[in-house]
Amino acid sequence: MFRSPKSTFALVLFACLAPGVCYAQGYQIGTAATAVEIAGWDIDIRPDGKGLPAGSGNAVNGEETYETFCASCHGVFGEGEGRWPVLTGGEGTLADDRPVKTVGSYWPYASTLFDYIRRAMPFNAPMSLNDQQVYDTTAYVLYMNDIIEEDFELSQDNLAHVEMPNQGGFYVDNRPDVANPRCMVNCADPDSMMMQSSLAGVTPIGHFVEGADAPAASHSGQDELEASKEAERKAAITGEELVAPVAQEATAMSDQAMAGEATYKAACGVCHTSGLAGAPKVDDADAWSERIQQGTDLLIIHALQGYAGAEGYMPAKGGRADLSDEAVTNAVLFMVESQQ
């Protein structure tokens, strides 16, 4: 993320003689970042443990911290409340159509767990935990996944040596990022071509294939299926008895949402029907549940003004400046109400 001082120096060398004043002379804006400022950003932890703060923690102490700050979303046993992420279980499912990727079943390095919790959790208050609490909860999540013992003292010195179950499941992918030879003869007519996206080779493709593992033709049917899967998964982890989920009544769409369907088809579907460019697919209830929890107002603001998220870039009004705010709002309501 940072250009090293050395290369900055090289860039502006022609403009100055004394390194200390290069920044000012080179661009005439800003001041050099102080060591303290850089330290505030420089919080990544590498697989070999480099970057870990001094300290240690264990699952015995971690239990309380976890229950206070994490269990409301991730479940007391890491089984996940509602559709919040599952942190435990899933062993042996990676080759399934719908793999359950958890810290235990998927993650290659324990260092990532520490880094991630410290950087991003609790979801509603990232970077609010102190190092001790991060060590303790990291140990607790590893303990819930049967990776370390309850009393194991996880520390700056041994965290990198904790072997994760799926560590051997990763390999270096040295394919080039782009392979796009130009067509010179007998090329397809560009007008007859359709844009498509796929994540072939990254995650089992069955997950993305229309209809795969989705016998339900309607959203409410899909919801029921998801709810029963969640109940099964929870019961498997907690040992609780499986209770049949209560079927939800299909809700009728509001007038606004119905009015938004046409805009959706004309301006949004190109990305949101196909999943192009990382757009959450309109029929992927999982992809929408967390977004909807942010509140429809924020979704509308994002759709109107555009924003860059973790999955990709949502252009303002889907790139269609000609649309009225009302039309875009209605399209969002159509997308949201399609989830019910």
Binding site for ligand HEC (CB under 6 A): 69-70, 72-74, 84-85, 87, 101-103, 113, 116-117, 121-124, 129, 137, 141, 267-268, 270-272, 276-280, 290-291, 294, 298-299, 302-303, 309-315, 317-319, 328, 331-332, 335
For residue 234, the tally of other CB atoms under 10 A from its CB is: 20
> Considering the complex, what minimum distance in angstroms separates the CB of residue 19 from ligand HEC?
39
Shortest Å, Cβ 143 to ligand HEC:
12
Between 19 and 85, whose beta carbon lies closer to ligand HEC?
Answer: 85
Closest CB 253 distance from ligand HEC, rounded Å: 15
DSSP secondary structure letter of residue 37: H
Question: How far apart are alpha carbons 68 and 62 in whole angstroms?
Answer: 10
Q: Which helix H or strand E contains 313, and what residues bound it?
A: strand 313-314
Distance CA 78, CA 75 (A): 5
Residues 6+ apart with CB under 8 A from 7: none
259 vs 277, beta carbon nearer ligand HEC: 277
Contact 142, 162 (CB under 8 A): yes
| Alpha-carbon gap, residue 47 to 167, rounded angstroms | 11
Q: How far is the CB of 319 from ligand HEC (least distance, A)?
A: 6
Nearer to ligand HEC among residue 23 and residue 219 (C-beta): 219
Torsion angle, alpha carbons of 211, 217, 218, 221, to 10: -90
Residue 85 Cα distances to 102, 103, 186, angstroms? 8, 10, 48
Complex with ligand HEC: residue 74 or 234, whichever CB lies closer: 74
Contacts of 54 (CB under 8 A, 6+ apart): 131, 156
Shorter beta-carbon distance to ligand HEC: residue 163 or 311: 311
CB of 7 to ligand HEC, least distance (A): 30
The answer to whether 281 and 272 have CB atoms below 8 angstroms apart is yes
**Residue whose Cβ sits closest to ligand HEC:** 309
Q: Report the nearest approach of ligand HEC to the CB of residue 163 (Å).
A: 17
Residue type, 48: D
Nearer to ligand HEC, 222 or 274 (CB): 274
Q: What's the min distance (Å) between Cβ of 89 and ligand HEC? A: 11
Cβ proximity to ligand HEC: between 247 and 262 the closer is 262
Q: Which is nearer to ligand HEC, 98 or 302 (CB)?
A: 302
Q: Is the Cβ–Cβ distance between 137 and 117 less than 8 Å?
A: yes
The DSSP output letter for 218 is S
Please report how close the Cβ of residue 211 comes to ligand HEC at its closest, in angstroms. 23
SS (H, E, C) 96-133: CCCCCCCCCCCCCEHHHHHHHHHHHCCCCCCCCCCHHH
